[in-house]
Chains A and B, each alone.
Chain A
Amino acid sequence: DTEVTQTPKHLVMGMTNKKSLKCEQHMGHRAMYWYKQKAKKPPELMFVYSYEKLSINESVPSRFSPECPNSSLLNLHLHALQPEDSALYLCASSQEGNGGPYNEQFFGPGTRLTVL
């Protein structure tokens, strides 16, 4: 199984809502990533979990809260978002997370988030 799954596919939320994005992989990968992507732009790294520990936070606002309950699952909790947070949120995983060939990342299909 070389698939990364993400749910939901689409999400519309108000600025006062709390919602969560979910990502799952069953490739035995030990590094998982959250990216934000705006239209016509490359993905921007938000968070990296390596061996279930948060290893990188790219100065992301606290209204985004990641969680890695186990090595196969990654969540992104959303609260009090702004309209400018509307984007495609991509999850990815890699065998490990320390450079070289182990950084080959497998991406999920993304969640299209709209904040009203």
Chain B
Amino acid sequence: AQSVTQPDIHITVSEGASLELRCNYSYGATPYLFWYVQSPGQGLQLLLKYFSGDTLVQGIKGFEAEFKRSQSSFNLRKPSVHWSDAAEYFCAVAPRPGGGNKLTFGTGTQLKVEL
């Protein structure tokens, strides 16, 4: 069964500092990976996704993520964090084609930004 681990429950960074949020997955085939962001009381917004090809993917709001098959990781990065980036971040993996509809989410990482 597939699973997603986000080891950091909370992360605090200073505004302007760089950010890396970790995501590790357990999956038997080529994974289909997503990062979502959720502001308080809001729905989930897709930041970026990886399906195949270039292992460094660019997303919205200046975020990027790198897929590393050897480490089963898909870490999210941002070079300079803004106060508005404070939110909950979820990594998720989709089944392989033909494998059904169920996204598997990580437990989330709450990002706090200090001014």
Contacts and interface: CB of A to CB of B under 8 A. Distances in A.
A56 B42 CA distance: 25
Contacts of B43: 4, 6, 90, 107-110
Given A45-B102, A98-B97, 10 more contacts: A43-B105, A56-B101, A98-B101, A99-B97, A99-B101, A100-B32, A103-B32, A104-B46, A108-B43, A110-B43
Interface stretch (B13-21, B65-73, B106-114): B106-114
Interface string B80-115: 000000001010001111111111011110100000
A98 B108 contact: no
Nearest to B100: A99
Interface in A21-74: 31, 33, 40-43, 45, 48, 50, 55-56
Chain B contact residues, majority secondary structure: loop
Contact-residue bracket for chain B: 20 to 34
Nearest to A104: B49
Contacts, number: 83
B96 A40 contact: no
Given A40-B110, A41-B107, A97 B46 contact: no
Contacts of B103: 45, 103, 105
A108 B46 CA distance: 11
A81 interface: no
B44 A55 contact: no
